[in-house]
Amino acid sequence: MLRGLLSLLLLASVSAPLSGAPISPVHDFNPVALLELDPIPQKQHDAVAPVLQAKAGLVMDADTGLILYEKNSQIPLAMASLTKIMTAVIILESHSLDEVVTINDNYNTLAGVKIGLQKNEKITVGNLLMGLLIRSGGDAALALAKFHSDSVPAFVEAMNQKATLLHLEHTRFQNPIGLDEEGHYSTAYDLALLTKQAMRHRAFRAIVRLPEADISSVDGQIHHSFKNTDQLLGGYLNVIGVKTGTTDAAGESIINWAQGPAGQNILAIVLDSPDRFQENKSLMDWAFRNFFW
């Protein structure tokens, strides 16, 4: 029975490779590790916890789920483009990366960040996910939502259903982009759980660690080039990256996944920070200095 269970878990973890993307090597999720005991982080001494100006923050040991630091981690706040993590999760669980999406709408007047999708352009799901997660393109989010559910409201319903399944008890979505809207909120703790779910997908892990991307339409006639919005990616520790977000209501927010020298995995989150990169870096510094695994 145990062998059968492991086989099912292994099959469920298989994800198609990201075609045409300059992916750095990443480790696949190993379901066998579910049967192993992860090292429990222990505090080395009574260090003073970091002082955050952000409204909320959290550091979680990603392997055990233990909270190493928290500030207002259960208070619902606007989440800006951290929303797009859920958008990506739903797409990755439902579609292959090589499926082709036809852009049926004109996104030229769409407010916020865009990758520049053109009406009637044909582009793969994998390329749209790169535009969604690296550039944080709102047009990519809408195109994926309509491709999956035929309409944005139907996709938002799927997002909220998934939030319920993941036990994100203080999370509610109103759009797939992260635009400020009444009733669109999450918490640092819920976003940590959501990120752990997203990082189970090989394609997600491969995309969020890319510093930049140059993607094109299926016929190669339309190109979109952009850089990752995460300034800590590739320049500090072993930050694998995840997602940034900024709106008037959410302020500056960021989630980063980082690995320590012994392979420890932590998630560091700050919401509504006056300096998200510095505060996120401070949280990761503090965790790796004051805990051992």
Are 195 and 276 within 8 A, CB to CB?
no
For the chain, the domains span 38-292
Tokens representing residue 251 in the block: 């302020």
Q: Average pLDDT of 36-58? A: 81
Spatial distance between the Cα atoms of 245 and 254, rounded to a whole number of angstroms: 6
Instruction: For domain 38-292, give the CATH superfamily.
Output: DD-peptidase/beta-lactamase superfamily (3.40.710.10)
Tokens representing residue 34 in the block: 């579910």
> According to the model, what pLDDT value does residue 112 have?
93
Given a cut of 60, whether residue 200 has pLDDT beyond it is: yes
Which residue of the set 55, 71, 73, 81 is catalytic?
81
pTM, entire model: 0.86
273 catalytic? Reply is: no
Q: Average pLDDT of 249-266? A: 94
> According to the model, what pLDDT value does residue 31 have?
53
Q: What is the CA radius of gyration of the chain?
A: 19
Listed in sequence order, the residues at least 6 apart from 130 whose beta carbon sits closer than 8 Å to its beta carbon are 18, 21, 207, 210, 213, 215
Q: Average pLDDT of 124-143? A: 98
Instruction: Report the DSSP pairing between strands 212-216 and 243-247.
Output: unpaired
Tokens representing residue 179 in the block: 């635009």
> According to the model, what pLDDT value does residue 146 have?
98
Which residue of the set 84, 146, 243, 281 is catalytic?
84
Which residue of the set 15, 73, 114, 136 is catalytic?
136
136 catalytic? Reply is: yes
282 catalytic? Reply is: no
pLDDT tier at 118, thresholds 50, 70, 90? very high
> According to the model, what pLDDT value does residue 5 have?
36
> According to the model, what pLDDT value does residue 12 have?
39
Are 253 and 50 within 8 A, CB to CB?
no
> According to the model, what pLDDT value does residue 23 have?
39
